[in-house]
Amino acid sequence: MTRAIIVALLLAAAPAESPEIRALVEGQMPDDPAKPMVQAKCMLCHTGDYLTQQRLNEVQWQKTVEKMRKFGSPASDEEVKVMSAYLAKYWTQDLPPLKAARAAPPAAGRK
């Protein structure tokens, strides 16, 4: 009983999800000087959804962008730094996970 009360109090004290956080969770890329670079260099192979579903720290983003460069992304050393910083600024491990889409109901007549 005490535990349930503590959990209820913590949930009541938690701030509502801000529109900015909700936008990030939904995969919207914030305006930033690095945004066009990410779109041009990363979205040659990936959709924005693929990028924004990740939850990485700055070191992990750096390694990921470097790995993509080895796979052929045309990014310079400086662009890797800028893109990694942008991605790490918004899609951190503290950001709530992407909410999974619910499956569509089965088609009529299909079992």
What are the tens digits of pLDDT across the range 43-84?
989 898 888 999 999 999 999 999 999 999 999 999 999 999
Q: What is the DSSP string of 65-86?
A: HHHHHHTT----HHHHHHHHHH
> No. of H helices and E strands in the chain?
6, 0
Q: From start to end of the chain, where are the E strands?
A: none
Domain boundaries defined on the chain: 31-93
CATH number of 31-93: 1.10.760.10
pTM, 2 dp: 0.72
The mean pLDDT value for 22-46 works out to 93
Query: 40 pLDDT band (50/70/90 cuts)?
Result: very high
